Structures are given as structure tokens and as C-alpha cells.
Structure 1
């Protein structure tokens, strides 16, 4: 399964500290007329400012925009800083720690919320017609049955699948790339491996995978929230290779 690239929070924080620029929580009233943007240099400058504002948004609650702009102008003009480098390093570290603590607290709260939402959903979903539950808590529904062989835990399978969140938002699909995936069942999430081993070749199943059988509290930064219950629709095309029994 592919995972989207994600820029670590720590990298954003370091960039934010070093660049000396950020957005305020609410826009400050303009102090002058909007720039004319009538030259290539002016347009490039404006775009750089926009990009910096988007990238450095994590520090918007922790900085005074007017002081930030003073620092930018002073550094741009080559004037000496009233804060020496050792002190600046300490301030950067303190800011980074505050942001990490805030991010971690938000993630813990989100994980708690998602876990409860997933448990509530699965409790109701397991009572729906055609939905079966395994001892591990995995839920599945047979969409298309078949009479082919079933894979073992070490086998490589060739599949088409769609992965989605409980709200129906799709995060991955082999149908979109028009290219089936080959996966070793011992190297994928536990719920996915367990579910596909229930499938005969040629069948199509839907799985509801609780967080503990998916990505758990860690999630996939930027793609899958912590403790998210996931929904997969899987079509087992073939057993591409047999592993050790």
C-alpha cells in the first residue's frame, strides 16, 4: 500500500523559527495601499510572501506579526540582531517544544474521539444483514463470492482495492491507477491480512477494520488520523506467489 509523503512537524517548526516570518491569528489592518504588482520582481516577492505564510502557519498563535516584520526588515538590511545566536537557539527550541506539545495534545484528543466513533460504528454495523464479525473484531461482507483457493499468511496476492475512511472519503484506490497491487500478506496491516485470507480467488469483499487492526494510535500523518477505523473493498485477482507454510 502506498503512503503519501508527509513533512514532519519538527521540520516545519525549524523552518518557522529560522525564517522569521509568520501569519497572525487575525489579519492586521493594512498599513498602506496594496502593492501594484506591476513588475516581475514585485509579483515574485508577493508569491514568496504567500508561500511563507502558508508554510509557517503553525507559529501563528505564538508570534507578534509586527515584531516579526521588524526582524525581517532588520535582517534584510544587514542590521545586527539584539538577540545573540545562543539565545536565539534557546528561543527556537522553546517554541518548537511548545508546538510539539500542542500538536501531541491535539493528536491524543483526536485519537480518543476516533476510537469512540469507530467503536460506536462497529457496534451498529455488526448487526446489519450480511455483515459478519471475526474473533479479532474485523467485520466483513461478501459482495461477490467465488470458488477459488484462499491465500495463506505468507502468500503474495494480486488485488484491486479501495481504501476509505468511515465518512466515505477515499484515500487510496488501485482502480484510479488502473494497476492492481501485489502485496505480501505478512507485510500489511493485521486486519487487511486476516480479511484477505478469508477470500477465495475471484471474490470481492468489503472490510471494516478497527483501529487496533489498522494503523492504531499512530495513524499515517497527513493521510489517516490516529485510531481511525478503515473501510476497504478488496477484489482478490490471484495468488501471485506462495510463501512458506
Structure 2
């Protein structure tokens, strides 16, 4: 089974690299001149093995940093940080502060690539909550009762037996216990937040449809190839049995 229900875990990235670029300075523009003349930086001469090794590290680190989604950095300050760490100099930020800066920058850069997903999910939820029968909780989770059960409601620490189907808001299915022909047993405090909250609303014997905002699902990371980052998800869930703790 796909790991659809594992909670998204927080991840850290430790910066061990740098990229260095130089920008050419523009010459003053003379009167009646419409095009600014430009100078180009002289090519770097690799005169020794150390030069080649240093440049190779630079290009490798720069290429790696580019994959994070960052579009620009203050290269002089980046080089200062690299030198301080490499030579044992006094660093301005401690490890925790540095990690928070890196994580925040990468999160923001990644988020900007998925603005369409975020906007699409928000529009869907805004329209969906207006439909008759759809209820919205304080967290933003939306649910619709398909079949009302009469059994007990589970608690967050309980194990439950469920059948389910999960789709994106465009209708594309990414997982289904029905297709596998057997329900699944899981513990509510070990699944995505939308499931933890939603299943506690359901008496045993119920079938609900959950509309889960990205922050209650897989957030900025998504899940595998089938669930992109910042995806709002829809689940049809049957709570067959509450197994208890």
C-alpha cells in the first residue's frame, strides 16, 4: 500500500555549499545614447590543481543549491559564511538559526512554484463549503455525511478498520482500499491531520466524504508521484470498526 497516511515529517537542510557569480558593471550612459555599454567579467584562470578543485566545488555546490528552487542569493555574504565555517572563524548565526533561515527560504521558494495548486485548492474549498450538506470545522476540514452510523466514535489513540478511496480535486484517484479488495487497519494519531480529525467525527458504521486542505494533508512535500505539493485532497471513508487502543 502506498504510504498515503504517514504524517509529513519536518525536514532540515544543512548548507554545506556555495555558488559564486560576478555581475558586470554598466558604464555611464552618454547623452543621446539609448543603449548602455556593458563590460564582461574576465574569465577565471585555473592555474593550479587547487584552483580547479575550488572551482569544481563551486559549480557543484551552485548546481545543488539551484535545485532547491532559490533564484538568487547574496553571493558575497554566502562566500563569507563559507569561509568562516571552512577556516574556523566566528560565525554570525548558530546552527539552529542557520537551519531556520535555510528551511524558511526553501519553503518559500518551493511554495512560489505551486501557487496554482494553492489557489486551485482554495477556490475549490470556498465553493464546496457552500454546498448543502457540507460542514466545515475550525481547522478548515470539510466533511459530508454519506451514511450516518450508530456506533461509537474513535479517539485519536484508537486503532480503526476502514475502507477508503482518495482522489485529487480534479477527480484523479491516487489510492483505494476498495480496489485492493480489503480494508485497512490504522491508528488515528499516525495518519494525516485531516484523517485524525475527520475520523473522530464518525460513529462506527458511517461513511463520510472528507475534503482536506493541503495543510491538513501532505502540505509542502506532497506524497510520491501521485500527490503534488500543496494538494487539497478528497477521501471517501467508511469506518467499519473501532478496535480501541
Normalising by the residue count of structure 2, what TM-score does the alignment of the two structures yield? 0.60
The TM-score with structure 1 as length reference comes to: 0.60
Separation (CA, whole Å) in 2 of partners of 1:99 and 1:194: 35
- Does the CA-based 8 Å contact 1:110-1:226 persist in structure 2? no
Higher helix share: 1
Deviations 1:95-136 (A, max 9, x none): 222233369687322433222221211111111121111222
Which consecutive unaligned segments of at least 5 residues does structure 2 have? 5-12, 14-50, 72-105
Name the CA shift for 1:96/1:206 in 2 (closer, same or farther; >3 Å): same
Note the C-alpha offset of 1:221.
Answer: 4.4
> Which residue does the alignment assign to 2:153?
150
How far 1:212 moved relative to its partner?
A: 1.6
Map of 2:191 onto structure 1: 188
CA RMSD in angstroms, aligned pairs only: 2.6
The structure 2 residue matched to 1:220, chosen from 215, 223, 226, is: 223
Per-residue deviation, 1:232? 0.4
The aligned counterpart of 2:3 is: 3
Verify the 8 A CA contact 1:140 1:207 in the aligned structure 2. yes
Rounded Cα–Cα distance in structure 1 between residues aligned with 2:155 and 2:69 = 43
Contact kept in structure 2, 1:174 and 1:180, CA below 8 Å? yes
Q: Which aligned runs of 4 or more in structure 1 are off by greater than 4 angstroms?
A: 83-87, 102-106
Deviation of 1:198 after TM superposition, in Å, equals 1.1
Q: Does 1:130 align with 2:130?
A: no
Counting matched residue pairs gives: 166
Give 1:86 shift.
5.8
Structure-1 residue corresponding to 2:232: 229
User: Larger deviation: 146-155 or 106-115?
Assistant: 106-115
**Partners of 2:156 and 2:168 in 1: how far apart?**
25
